[in-house]
Amino acid sequence: MKLRRRQFLGLAALAVASPAVSRLALAQAYPSRPVRWVVPYPAGGTTDLIARLLGQWLAERLGQPVVIENKPGGGTNIGVQAVVNAPADGHTLLFTSSSSLVVTPHTMKLSFDPLRDLVPVARLIEVPLVIVANAGIGPKSITEMIERSKASPGGCPTRSSWSPRRTRSSTRGPTRCPRRSSTGSCSS
C-alpha cells in the first residue's frame, strides 16, 4: 500500500494530536455534573463542618459544585446505603469515619458489604481519641484508673454513647456493670 504525502501528513498530525485530545476528553469527563457528598451524620456537627470546608475546596478544584447531603440515622448506615445504591460513576461520595465501615459490619446486620461495595479514595483527617476524668475525683494516669477499677467491686464507672443493646446511654450518666460474665463483659 502506497501512502500519498497528504495522507501521511494527516496521519502524522493525528498521531501527534491524539494524546492531547484524549487527555482533554478525559479531563472533561469527570465531573460532568455536581458531586454529591453524603455525610451520614446530622448537620452542624464536626463531621458536617469538615465536609463543608473540604467541599468548598474540592469544588474550586473540580470546577463543579460539591453538594453536602446529610443522611443521619441507623448508626450511619442510612448514609452509607445511599452511597452504595448510587450509580458507580464517581459523582456520589461518602464522608465518614472508619468505624462506620470497620466496626458497624461486625455489630449490625447490613444489606451491603463495605469491602465489596465501596472503595477508599482518600484519608482526609485524623481525630485523636482521649480518656478524660473529672479533675476533682478522677485518676491522674491510666495506671491509677486501672488500679481503681480493679479495686472497685463493680468495676470502673463508664459512659458510652453506644452499646449493642442500647441499655446504657450517656444521657443516663455513669453506669456500673451489674454483673460480670465469665468472659469479663457486662451482662444485665
Q: What residues pair up with 94 in beta bridges, in sequence order? A: 38
C-alpha cell at 39: 455525610
Provide the pLDDT for residue 172. Answer: 41
Count H helices and E strands in the chain, helices first: 7, 5
Which CATH number is associated with domain 31-117?
3.40.190.150
**Per-domain residue ranges for the chain?**
31-117, 130-177
Provide the pLDDT for residue 6. Answer: 60
Provide the pLDDT for residue 76. Answer: 92
Provide the pLDDT for residue 58. Answer: 94
Whole-prediction pTM: 0.59
Write down the residue that cell numbers 450511619 correspond to. Answer: 76
How far is the CA of 66 from the CAs of 35, 104, 119, 138, 156, in angstroms? Answer: 5, 27, 19, 45, 45
Q: What is the mean pLDDT of each run of 10 residues along the chain (188 residues)?
A: 57 56 57 95 93 95 95 93 94 90 84 89 84 79 84 67 43 43 46
